[in-house]
Structure 1
Amino acid sequence: MVARDKGQPGEDSAGDPYVPTHGNGGYKVESYELDLDYRLNSNRLSGKATITAVATQALSRVSFDLTGLRVAKVLVNGRRAGRYAHRNGKLHIWPSPALSEGSEFVVDVQYSGNPAPVDSPWGELGWEELTEGVIVASQPSGAATWFPCNDHPSDKAHYRITITTDSPYHVVANGRLVSRRTKASRTSWVFDQAAPMATYLATVQIGRYDVLELATSPVTMRGVLPSSQMRDFRSDFGRQQDMMRLFIKLFGPYPFGSYTVVVTDDPLEIPLEAQGISVFGSNHVDGRRGAERLVAHELAHQWFGNSLTPSRWQDIWLNEGFACYAEWLWSEESGGLTASQQVSKAYSRLRGLDEDLLLSDPGPDLMFDDRLYKRGAITLHVLRLQLGDEAFFELLRTWTRTHRHGSVTTEDFIALACTFTEDQNDVLALFAVWLDATELPALPRRRR
């Protein structure tokens, strides 16, 4: 993360050109403690955020991302801030005295308002009302719609999230459910996410949901969904435990304490991943396993994206290419098309499309383009052919183990891949044509 604080407006970006108005320099967040009170009928959110951070340089000003909500009070290290200003999605705070390099500091922000998603090139992002409940989908830049934060993927922190809301509703947030206390018509839910988490992976899901315990081995898994979806859900997600076993074998240990699938009562355009959680719409549950490839895709993100998070958005293929390849690995394992057949099918489709996507740096407009998903997955398969199965899957397990709960770049993956072959130049050449050129390379002749 590029650390900046020149004391002038506009110098607060952490330096990611894909989302230049988000992220802030000069500090590293250690933890977020969020105490939220939400009224569904009025869509009213009142919150207190306690942010503990360490200054990576001397700071006369600290900035956080926060949009659409009103700030009522700011404290720094228990004292009122010298002054603060909230404008254009940025909360600027001038602590008194200024912060010295290396010092730990605590910022308390009290805020409230009617949270709403923000428009972006990738659709509406952040806190959004459902017909009866709430969904939070923040990737890549929607976290600031519900709490003040350093909204940059590389700044991962511990979270403790308390949500108080109307008692008939079930709440899901990241991490372990520490406690649930009901008083009159209100219930407070407390979640603790010990593993470091990026802001875009933090989530709250609220709805009239029932809980279905799916498995305790090899990982505790549960479904949270409307009762009307239960029958179809059991069929559609019935092989998720087998997916988990396969991915643990191929990718290494599951990186979190448990895994929760939420199904909303509303249809969703696409499912979404959060840390330890995946969220599907009612349209993804049909009783015929019509969305099973997406079930595999979202589960794979727990390794690729959530535990190993890109340091910068240009490396999004490390999330989506890997999760797409996991779909193909599951297809092969479960008796569908082999990975080689999936590659041939995807390659034929790519040949008929524009070849203007640079996988290693697609640009913000194409970072969620389906061609990135497919070309990323094909790249991994070509690497598998070159290394051989034993070395390739040991590479993936070493990748997830070495960078567990960390931040990664494409250069990190290339460097590690080069240690799994004696022909480093061949591996570098492979990545050069698949990652750093727009033209679609020829597939190797040898097929699986």
Structure 2
Amino acid sequence: MALLTLLMFALANLAIGTPRCSHLEKIQACESLRETRLTALDADSSHSYDQTALLLDYRVENSVNVPLTGRALVTLTANEMLTWIPFNAEGLAIYGISEMGNDLDFIYRNDTLWVEKTLYPGQSATIEIQLTAPAIPNFFEVGYHVDWQRVFTFAEPFGARRWFPCWDQPYDKFDEITIAVNMPEDWSLASNGFLTSTTYPEPGRKREV
């Protein structure tokens, strides 16, 4: 039986659905005003929100030519007034972002994903991000890997940004994480936590949560 391993440690950029020029100008102005925060995105002092819950819902294939495909739902609470929410995101393809079914504008460049959403201090939101993450050919590099009859993620402790957008810092851990994987029927999901459901959405495929 093949083994699928997803390890939870908190990819030139392709953005599908990049905002119009007017939105580009807005984010450029935002970056200009917050240049220190942009260049120090990894610094604790620049942390403008707390990420509290994560749902990863992915489809995997036994092929290095097929990327990790699916969605990430990140629930966060603002620590300050936000008009654009920054996420670490490296090498991903972003196909759409929404909140409660409403599409959100976004900018993706310089390994940073900016999502246009106004939040006041203490206000929470769940951001849904449709994405793919390519397989990393070198098994010693951080990221998503495809091996013979198995796929896995690897990072220590940084690198989750290579398979889902997040604030990729170990000091801000999610309080709750749910992982759902659609995979070949003879594979199994291995991760921290408990298996809550197994379904068979299509012939030859299995989905475990």
Q: Same fold (TM over 0.5)?
A: yes
1:327-338 aligned within 5 A:
none
In 1, the alpha carbon distance for the partners of 2:135 and 2:163 equals 6
Specify the alignment match of 1:13 in structure 2. 41
Q: 1:43 to 1:174 in 2, by over 3 A?
A: farther
In 1, the alpha carbon distance for the partners of 2:83 and 2:119 equals 6
Specify the alignment match of 1:50 in structure 2. 73
Q: 2:49 touches 2:78 (CA, 8 Å); kept in 1?
A: yes
Quote how far apart the aligned CAs of 1:43 are: 3.0
Q: 2:115 aligns with which of 93, 98, 108?
A: 93
1:66 partner amino acid = A
Specify the alignment match of 1:291 in structure 2. none
1:179 aligns to 2:179 (yes or no): no
Quote how far apart the aligned CAs of 1:143 are: 0.8
Specify the alignment match of 2:145 in structure 1. 128
1:173 partner amino acid = S
Greater fraction of residues in helix = 1
**SS state of the match for residue 10, structure 1?**
helix
Specify the alignment match of 1:317 in structure 2. none
Quote how far apart the aligned CAs of 1:112 are: 1.6
1:25 aligns to 2:44 (yes or no): no
Specify the alignment match of 1:151 in structure 2. 168
**SS state of the match for residue 83, structure 2?**
coil
Quote how far apart the aligned CAs of 1:189 are: 0.9
* CA deviation profile, 1:62-115 (whole Å, cap 9, x unmatched): 11122222000011344221x2111222111121xx211110111110012423
In 2, the alpha carbon distance for the partners of 1:138 and 1:152 equals 12
Q: 1:35 touches 1:48 (CA, 8 Å); kept in 2?
A: yes
2:204 partner amino acid = S
1:397-416 aligned within 5 A:
none
Specify the alignment match of 1:72 in structure 2. 95
Specify the alignment match of 1:111 in structure 2. 131
* CA deviation profile, 1:1-57 (whole Å, cap 9, x unmatched): xxxx954472451416xxxxxx97210011001110112223322111111110000
In 2, the alpha carbon distance for the partners of 1:69 and 1:24 equals 23
1:45-444 aligned within 5 A:
45-81=68-104, 83-95=105-117, 98-116=118-136, 124-157=141-174, 158-182=176-200, 183-190=202-209
TM-score, normalised with respect to structure 2: 0.74
TM-score, normalised with respect to structure 1: 0.36
**For the pair shown, which has the larger CA radius of gyration, 1 or 2?**
1
Q: 1:32 touches 1:50 (CA, 8 Å); kept in 2?
A: yes
In 2, the alpha carbon distance for the partners of 1:136 and 1:160 equals 16
Unaligned runs of 5+ in 1: 17-22, 191-448
In 2, the alpha carbon distance for the partners of 1:76 and 1:117 equals 33
In 1, the alpha carbon distance for the partners of 2:138 and 2:98 equals 27
Specify the alignment match of 1:268 in structure 2. none
1:38 aligns to 2:60 (yes or no): yes
Quote how far apart the aligned CAs of 1:174 are: 2.2
Q: 1:115 touches 1:146 (CA, 8 Å); kept in 2?
A: no
In 1, the alpha carbon distance for the partners of 2:111 and 2:179 equals 22
In 2, the alpha carbon distance for the partners of 1:109 and 1:117 equals 24
Question: Whose RCO is larger (CA < 8 A, sep 6+)?
Answer: 2
Q: How many residue pairs align between the two structures? A: 174
Greater fraction of residues in strand = 2
**SS state of the match for residue 52, structure 1?**
strand
Q: 1:103 to 1:189 in 2, by over 3 A?
A: same
In 2, the alpha carbon distance for the partners of 1:90 and 1:24 equals 14
Unaligned runs of 5+ in 2: 1-30
